[in-house]
Structure 1
Amino acid sequence: MSRPTARKAAPKGEYIETDSGNKVSRRSAITGTANITLGGRTVIMAEVQLRGDLHSTRVVPSSTGKDVTPTAISIGRCTVISTGSVIRPPYRISRGQIHYYPLKIGDNVFVGPNCTISAIQIASHVHIGANTVIGPFAMIKENVKILENTVVPANMIITAGSVVGGRPARVVGEVGEGWGVGSTGGVGVGGGGEKNWVEGGDLRELVRSIK
């Protein structure tokens, strides 16, 4: 009697997709998942590090009356974190102790490959070029374009509508009217649908194209 043939396991895709449409690469490194929130239709690519383990140790009361640990990293809707980027909350040292502060990223934010981000806040419709470093407690307002290889110093505030570049970063222009509106594609990340999105615009088409 012959042995029954073993059934081959179905191949696993690159991304795990959640009920809210988030796509998280199986090759990403996410620590402290309980302290990370993703708003929906957000993409976390391969080799991205999300450091949710670096969170405040103080607890705050919630609406249910129970004490909870504050969220370490909050990422909004339709945001793309590209390959090799590191997202970590900022911290200060006081009386010999490290105190971490929550990092908030808005909607429709594109983070290019190999970026290191430790800002306190990045607002919506921000495009961050590849190999950018954003220092602790920097604050990026709405509709900002950060050029590739930029180093944003700690505590820098970038005003809405700015184009920023340099090491250290400085404002080199304005995005102008029509930012985020148009038919030309942004930086390609694969999947074939990148020509349907624009820098600073709605990233739903880009998210849809990533498989």
Structure 2
Amino acid sequence: MSEDDWSMALELEAPPIYYNKADYIQTASGNKVSRNSVLCGSQNITLVGNSVIMPGTVLRGDLQLLKIGRHVIVGENCVLRPSYKKYKGNIAFFPMTIGDYVTVGAKSVVCAAHIGSCVNIGENCIISKRCILKDNSMVLPDTILPPDTIVPPLTVFGGNPGVYLGDLPESQQLVQKQHAITEYKRFLPNLKSAAASPKGKAKAASP
């Protein structure tokens, strides 16, 4: 099955999600950021493009740099917080990087050091500090990954504590890429929504 076939098949299964344009800030690079999200230290947060930040989400750019790639979908009420390490009585925070085509399920707390591209994190997950999720990996819903966990490419982790559960097929990269693109495409403005844009908490500058 070609990439276009995958895209068409996924889009057929995904009805549009309509949102009120007044409730979101859309940047020139295609990011859609809910006005009911909280971007702390917005000057340290980079959204590369075509990403969606849902309501209730908190991005802690005030602690360290936070870079989010293209086609990243962050669900409602998530927290993205850079990881840290105690050293000689002090706490040092590390930058967090998230690759392209990543989906983070609602109510998940992510404190990873690095998340690769084409990664799927389920709902209600806790990704503890200094975790590394390699490209094309998956974390099942309700998983708690202990600190310093490394999730290898093409593997599935799940449980509490999160452990290796199995391998993913080579097609996972294509499947997750199309999933993230489809989730972005199906998130459409309600044409009947009010044109006025009330002031909100979110601040997102186009890179």
Q: Same fold (TM over 0.5)?
A: yes
Quote the Cα distance in structure 2 between the aligned partners of 1:106 and 1:201. 15
Where in structure 2 are the equivalents of 1:1-211 lying within 5 Å?
A: 13-55=22-64, 72-181=65-174, 198-201=175-178, 203-211=180-188
Deviations along 1:113-167, whole A, 9 cap, x unmatched?
A: 0000000000000000000000100000011111000011111111000011011
Structure 2 counterpart of 1:94, one-letter code? Y
Structure 2 counterpart of 1:162, one-letter code? T
Q: Is the 8 A contact 1:125 1:201 kept in 2?
A: no
Q: 1:12 to 1:80 in 2, by over 3 A?
A: closer
The alpha carbon displacement at 1:200 in A equals 4.9
Quote the Cα distance in structure 1 between the aligned partners of 2:118 and 2:46. 18
Quote the Cα distance in structure 2 between the aligned partners of 1:81 and 1:125. 13
Gaps of at least 5 residues in structure 2 are 1-19, 189-207
Deviations along 1:24-49, whole A, 9 cap, x unmatched?
A: 00100111000110110011100000
Structure 2 counterpart of 1:90, one-letter code? S
Quote the Cα distance in structure 2 between the aligned partners of 1:100 and 1:44. 23
Structure 2 counterpart of 1:207, one-letter code? Y
Higher RCO (CA-CA < 8 Å; seq separation 6+): 2
SS in 2 for 1:13: helix
SS in 2 for 1:172: strand
Quote the Cα distance in structure 1 between the aligned partners of 2:130 and 2:21. 38
Quote the Cα distance in structure 2 between the aligned partners of 1:46 and 1:165. 26
The alpha carbon displacement at 1:201 in A equals 3.4
Structure 2 counterpart of 1:16, one-letter code? I
Quote the Cα distance in structure 2 between the aligned partners of 1:148 and 1:16. 28
Structure 1 counterpart of 2:40, one-letter code? T
Gaps of at least 5 residues in structure 1 are 1-10, 56-71, 182-197
Aligned residue-pair number: 169
SS in 2 for 1:46: coil
After TM superposition, the score normalised by the length of structure 1 is 0.76
Quote the Cα distance in structure 2 between the aligned partners of 1:202 and 1:78. 10
- Greater fraction helix: 2
Q: 1:201 to 1:166 in 2, by over 3 A?
A: same
Quote the Cα distance in structure 1 between the aligned partners of 2:173 and 2:150. 21
SS in 2 for 1:160: coil
Quote the Cα distance in structure 2 between the aligned partners of 1:110 and 1:203. 6
Aligned-pair identity in percent equals: 37
Q: Is the 8 A contact 1:138 1:157 kept in 2?
A: yes
